[in-house]
Structure 1
Amino acid sequence: MLIAVILGVFMFTVTQSHPSYKSRILNGNNVPDPCCPGRKWGRVGHTSPRDTALNNFGRDFQQNNYQFTEQLCLADSDGDGIPNGLELGLNTTRHNLQTLCQFIGSNPFNNQLVQFLERSYLLANPIGHPGLCDQDRCPPHLRYRCGRC
């Protein structure tokens, strides 16, 4: 019985820790679901909202020690031709993407940084999903195929 309780607590702790990754990703709580307009994608680094398999963005995030770094900001994880930072909502009307990604990478990524970017109109809503090729320009072999909502 004691082993079952300990195992249950461990499983609860492990499953609850993954949602915290969204707070380490720029606009991680606002990534749109490419299949269901108006919905948010629950697991940004995964191949589906319910799947545990990582998509390319999830693997890139993992390789960056679960941090949203300058490198991850500039990368195009899903191969759609749009860098992750742009897909996640960085506004480049006043500064170029590299400057914004350098700024993000050189500061501790936390809620205060995100709030500063939002107040400075440097961060808007995401325009796509950084781990799923969901743009019209995606090559057919990379295009994410939607299931039902």
Structure 2
Amino acid sequence: MFFKLLIWCLLVTVAHFHSWYKEHILNGDRVPHPCCPGRVWSRVGHTGPSSTPLNDFGRDFQRSRHLFTKELCLADSDGDGISNGVELGLNTTVYDLPTLCHFIDSSHMSRKFEEVVLFLKRSKLLSTPIGHPGFCDQNTGRCQPNFPCGC
């Protein structure tokens, strides 16, 4: 009985941490599924919706100590020629990407990430994600889509 309770507690803890990670990624709960229009990818930093290996974005997020830093925002984790910040929905029509990424990064010290995201949404500086930062889902000529399809 004790062993079952211990396993259950560990599973709840792991599920809780993964939802915490999504809350610390721009639009982490709205990242589109790379091959199923209208669906979202439930585990942004992982190679599959239910698998544990990390994709390139997940490894970059891990290296940034699980914070959405300026460097992570400006990076192109999947190599498709589009920065993570733009793929995740940053609107660069008013401010350039480095300015927006700096604002997001510097806010970790003074404000909660959720407050910054809410401000960006209200200011129309953050909209719907255009792609997945961990899979080359944009056919840009720099790479071909490389995700595990199947809906």
Question: What TM-score do the two structures reach when normalised by structure 1?
Answer: 0.92
- Match of residue 130, structure 1, among 129, 133, 139: 133
Pick closer, same or farther for the CA change 1:66–1:38 going to 2, 3 Å.
Answer: same
Pick closer, same or farther for the CA change 1:145–1:104 going to 2, 3 Å.
Answer: closer
Aligned residue type for 2:115: Q
Q: Which residue of 1 aligns with 2:124?
A: 121
- Residue 63 of structure 1 deviates from its aligned partner by 0.4
Q: How does 1:81-120 map to 2 (within 5 A)?
A: 81-108=81-108, 109-120=112-123
Pick closer, same or farther for the CA change 1:5–1:146 going to 2, 3 Å.
Answer: closer
CA RMSD of aligned residues (A): 1.5
Give the whole-Å Cα distance in 2 for the aligned partners of 1:69 and 1:139: 25
Are 1:30 and 2:33 counterparts? no
Point out where structure 2 has 5 or more consecutive residues left out of the alignment.
Answer: none
Aligned residue type for 1:125: T
Residue identity (%): 54
Question: What TM-score do the two structures reach when normalised by structure 2?
Answer: 0.91
Q: Which residue of 2 aligns with 1:45?
A: 45
- Where does structure 1 differ by over 3 angstroms across 4 or more consecutive aligned residues? none
How many residue pairs get aligned? The number is 148
Could you say what secondary structure the match of 1:16 adopts? helix
Aligned residue type for 1:147: C
As a proportion of its length, which structure holds more helix?
Answer: 2
Point out where structure 1 has 5 or more consecutive residues left out of the alignment.
Answer: none
Q: Which residue of 2 aligns with 1:16?
A: 16
